[in-house]
């Protein structure tokens, strides 16, 4: 298990989908298999994220400095936030309740409060995006004062002659007022997931949850176990 933290944003979302997938993500992630289509979407998501970060030309990229040493991200993030009146950070790290989150873009205001921007390449605000944002709000708000928490997603294309047409490819939604209400539920989910990770691999059967909201990268592993049982 990673040193310094137990859960991350991606593992939390995985755990909401399937407890067995969460366990494998922590203890045996090499079993994961992603399709070419999934990898293409990951690449598209990163490209869209990079294009939004480019609108913050003076941004400091924590990941460029620390690479895979994610356990050190919160320390460097705190140092940068504490030594600047205003600063833009990419992949800023925050740790609370054994959960580590990395925020896509963080802007520190002169009063010390933060504007958070979570970038998603989809064109609609899905329930998964909201759960993702809620976890980040939960962790970051226990570390720093949040001014706004925003989801940035791909703007829908409007006709050129439409009064709603815009040259910006980004659509920004402020979810600050909605996210606080999810904190109690999040704490419950975190406690359940921590408990799952103190035991052996769950024997969770396959089902519709293997496909929703995302195709699980461990489907082949779980299906292999079913085939072996069938052969036996």
**Pairing label, strands 99-108, 87-96:** antiparallel
CA contacts within 13 A on the Cβ side of 11: 25
The CA distance from 182 to 130, in Å, is 10
What integer pLDDT is reported at residue 21 of this predicted model?
97
What integer pLDDT is reported at residue 216 of this predicted model?
95
Q: Does residue 66 surpass a pLDDT of 80?
A: yes
Q: So what CATH class is 7-12+35-186? A: alpha beta
What integer pLDDT is reported at residue 121 of this predicted model?
86
Q: Alpha-carbon torsion 159, 163, 169, 170, what sign?
A: negative
Q: What is the mean pLDDT of residues 159-184?
A: 78
pLDDT tens profile 97-111: 999 999 999 999 999
pLDDT tens profile 8-53: 999 999 999 999 999 999 999 999 999 999 899 889 889 999 999 9
Q: What is the mean pLDDT of residues 158-171?
A: 60
pTM of the model: 0.88
The most distant pair of C-alpha atoms in the chain lies apart, rounded to whole Å, by: 66
Q: 35-49, 92-106, 129-143, 156-170 — which is least confidently predicted? A: 156-170
**Pairing label, strands 7-8, 99-108:** parallel
User: What confidence category does residue 157 fall into, taking pLDDT thresholds of 50, 70 and 90?
Assistant: low
What integer pLDDT is reported at residue 166 of this predicted model?
53
Name the percent of the chain lying above pLDDT 70.
91
Contacts of 91-95 with C-beta under 8 Å, sequence gap 24+, read 91/61, 91/62, 91/63, 92/62, 93/62, 94/136, 94/139, 94/140, 94/143, 94/144, 95/4, 95/5, 95/139, 95/143
The conformation of residue 162, written as its DSSP 8-state character, comes to S
Residues forming beta bridges with residue 115, ordered by sequence position:
107, 148
The CA distance from 100 to 125, in Å, is 23
Q: What is the mean pLDDT of residues 116-128?
A: 89
Q: Does residue 65 surpass a pLDDT of 80?
A: yes
Q: Which residue has the tokens 């396959």?
A: 206
Average per-residue pLDDT for the chain? 90
The CA distance from 163 to 168, in Å, is 14
What integer pLDDT is reported at residue 156 of this predicted model?
73
pLDDT tens profile 172-184: 999 999 999 999 9
Q: Which residue has the tokens 């699980």?
A: 216
Domain spans of the chain, in order of start? 7-12+35-186
Query: Of all residues in the chain, what percent are helix, strand and coil, respectively (each to 5)?
Result: 45, 20, 35
Q: Does residue 162 surpass a pLDDT of 50?
A: no
């Amino acid at each position: 298990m990673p040193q310094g933290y137990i859960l991350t944003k991606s593992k939390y979302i995985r755990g909401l989908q399937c407890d067995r997938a969460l366990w494998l993500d922590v203890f045996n992630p090499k079993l994961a298999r992603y399709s070419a289509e999934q990898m293409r979407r990951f690449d598209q998501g990163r490209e869209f994220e990079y294009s939004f970060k480019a609108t913050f030309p003076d941004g400091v990229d924590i990941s460029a400095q620390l690479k895979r040493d994610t356990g050190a991200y919160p320390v460097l993030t705190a140092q940068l936030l504490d030594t600047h009146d205003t600063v833009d950070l990419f992949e800023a790290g925050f740790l609370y309740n054994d959960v580590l989150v990395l925020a896509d873009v963080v802007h520190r205001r002169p009063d010390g409060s933060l504007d958070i921007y979570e970038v998603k390449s989809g064109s609609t605000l899905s329930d998964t995006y909201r759960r993702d944002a809620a976890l980040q709000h939960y962790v970051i708000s226990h570390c720093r004062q949040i001014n706004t928490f925003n989801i940035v997603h791909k703007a829908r294309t409007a006709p050129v002659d439409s009064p709603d047409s815009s040259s910006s490819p980004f659509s920004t939604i402020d979810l600050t007022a909605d996210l606080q209400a999810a904190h109690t539920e999040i704490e419950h989910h975190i406690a359940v997931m921590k408990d799952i990770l103190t035991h052996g691999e769950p024997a969770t059967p396959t089902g519709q949850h293997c496909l929703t909201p995302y195709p699980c990268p461990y489907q082949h592993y779980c299906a292999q176990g079913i085939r072996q049982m069938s052969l036996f």
